[in-house]
Amino acid sequence: MKNLLLGLVFLLSINSFAQSDSIFIRNIYDEALERGEAYENLRSLCKDVGARITGSAEAEMAVKWGEKLLKSYHFDKVYLQEIQVPHWERGTKEAAWIEDEQGNIYKLKVMALGMSVGTNGLLTGEVIQFDDMEALQEADPSTIKDKIVFLNDAFNQKYIRTFQAYGACYPQRGAGAAEAGKLGAKAVVIRSLASSNDDHPHTGTLRYDSVGVRIPAAAMSTNDANVLANWIKKGKVTLRLEMDCKTLPDVTSYNVIAEITGKDKKIITWGGHLDSWDVGEGAHDDGAGIAHSIEALRLLKKMNYKPQHTLRCVLFMNEENGNMGGKTYAKWCKENKENHIVAIESDRGGFLPTGFDVRGTEEQVKFVQQFKNLLYDFHLFKFGAGYGGVDIGPLMDEYPDMMQLGMTINSQRYFDYHHSEADVFESVNKRELELGAAAMATMIYLLDKNIK
């Protein structure tokens, strides 16, 4: 803590930033907006590689894609870091129907949750609904045994920050199957974690309890969740579900890393995750973060910037269902006795950037807030305490004195696309993506110059 706090230049006032800083930042934005390569790189990742679930052929091709692209920019170093990652496959397309007491049927739009077990054929059971995880946990097990649990916790539309609504609903996806399995349920179906009413099921990983029964788990579209809830109000509903997903042995994959060597041995890490779910194209989650991260390093090199500290861009693998890229990277850094002072992550979509959350001490938050006036004209105005990111999170365990930043974006539309078939290249705005890359490069520049 002492070394990093001493290194933060607290005595700087906003007025003391040199005019050259403003000019340099303006040049970053000019390059990104007029000659930027982030949008084309994102197009190539989405269209030439596709959806990139860990362990898949597409994930392997994404590693090759990333390594080739980074080498084409002639950074000081480009290399692969080997990791072991889980391998889960969705299998044949999921199918589900509901039937009421009059024999009416309705086909649901469903998608298996990541890491779920399959149904081993067509699974059938009466549906019992709970509006949130607390209601499930308080239920009498005898009312749940051999039934299919339906968790229908919707986004709280009153939250201005949609990530807050997502966090409140997340337990039904992350822990719903484990809790229902303990109570004797046959399976779990959940309302997709999405802010809008639409026809796209949204997947995402779950976590089984080590002592519980592993039961199948799927998400349905928000529109279908509304249909099912209305049917249940009228009487008994039976659900039929078939999923062919399975978990295979772990496989070898890689983080892809590029560096510009600094004058000292301290390191600033930033990145996004190269993997995505196996539906859509992973454009916002997290192709945009990959495009931001690569472009940030390219922009600084294009400016002929000579950093004080080593600047390291990491394309992490396996954020979605294990975070083995982030965990392995953090341990590797510590084992190699590296000195990490800052880490930054972009994993909130390709929408308009608004600033940076800071994970750290009150002094570290204040340090970043010194840049606020300098960056206001670039529409970056949010600089407060918050969350860094999943990939860089394990670094904090190894380097508790470091500072972490997460780039914030206008999140209002993010959960229309998140983990769904709608998350495709065409959903990303070119100019907003370029502004995100410029914001990332700018923050790296300011941190490198002002942390001694």
Q: Per residue in 118-161, pLDDT tens?
A: 999 999 999 999 999 999 999 999 999 999 999 999 999 999 99
- Residues 24-45 pLDDT 10s: 999 999 999 999 999 999 999 9
End-to-end CA distance of the chain: 14
β-sheet bridge partners, residue 259? 77, 312
Q: How confident is the model at residue 277 (pLDDT cuts 50, 70, 90)?
A: very high
List alpha helices for 183-250, DSSP H: 222-234
Q: How confident is the model at residue 16 (pLDDT cuts 50, 70, 90)?
A: low
Q: Is 418 helix (H, G, I), strand (E, B) or coil?
A: coil
Which strands form 310-316's sheet, in the order they lie side by side?
A: 77-89, 246-260, 310-316, 266-273, 339-345, 403-409, 353-359, 382-385
403-409/339-345 β-pairing: parallel
Mean pLDDT of 171-186: 96
Q: Are 113 and 175 in contact (CB under 8 A)?
A: no
The pLDDT of residue 5 is: 46
pLDDT of 107 higher than 70? yes
**408 vs 259, 331, 344, 389, CA distance in Å?**
24, 27, 11, 11
Domain ranges of the chain: 2-88+249-450, 91-244
Residue 15 DSSP one-character state: G
**216 vs 107, 186, 201, CA distance in Å?**
18, 8, 16
- Provide the 10 A C-beta neighbour count for residue 181: 23
For residue 203, which phi and psi values (nearest 5 degrees)? -85, -165
Token digits of residue 133: 């995880």
Spatial CA neighbour of 78 closest among 344, 305, 389, 294: 294
The pLDDT of residue 63 is: 98
Furthest-apart CA pair in the chain: how many Å?
76
**150 vs 96, 106, 144, 177, 277, CA distance in Å?**
13, 16, 11, 10, 23
Task: Specify the fold of 2-88+249-450.
Answer: Aminopeptidase (3.40.630)
pLDDT of 212 higher than 80? no
Long-range contacts of 164-169 (CB under 8 A, 24+ apart): 165/195, 165/415, 166/193, 166/415, 166/418, 169/193
CATH of domain 91-244: 3.50.30.30
The pLDDT of residue 19 is: 84
- Residues 299-324 pLDDT 10s: 999 999 999 999 999 999 999 999 99
Q: How confident is the model at residue 421 (pLDDT cuts 50, 70, 90)?
A: very high
Q: Are 161 and 138 in contact (CB under 8 A)?
A: no
How many residues are present in the chain? 452
Mean pLDDT of 257-272: 97
- Residues 349-399 pLDDT 10s: 999 999 999 999 999 999 999 999 999 999 999 999 999 999 999 999 999
pLDDT of 179 higher than 60? yes
Q: How far apart are CA 72 and CA 66, in angstroms?
A: 10
Q: Are 189 and 110 in contact (CB under 8 A)?
A: yes
Q: Is 43 helix (H, G, I), strand (E, B) or coil?
A: helix
Which strands form 148-151's sheet, in the order they lie side by side?
A: 105-108, 95-100, 237-242, 123-130, 148-151, 187-191, 217-220, 110-112
pLDDT of 11 higher than 70? no
Mean pLDDT of 434-449: 98
Which helix (H) or strand (E) element contains residue 38? helix 38-44
Q: How confident is the model at residue 2 (pLDDT cuts 50, 70, 90)?
A: very low
Q: How confident is the model at residue 8 (pLDDT cuts 50, 70, 90)?
A: low
Q: Are 378 and 352 in contact (CB under 8 A)?
A: no
Mean pLDDT of 329-351: 98
Token digits of residue 206: 């779950």
Q: Are 404 and 272 in contact (CB under 8 A)?
A: no
The pLDDT of residue 452 is: 86
Q: Are 411 and 348 in contact (CB under 8 A)?
A: yes
- Provide the 10 A C-beta neighbour count for residue 157: 9
Q: How far apart are CA 257 and CA 313, in angstroms?
A: 6
pLDDT of 13 higher than 50? no
pLDDT of 176 higher than 60? yes
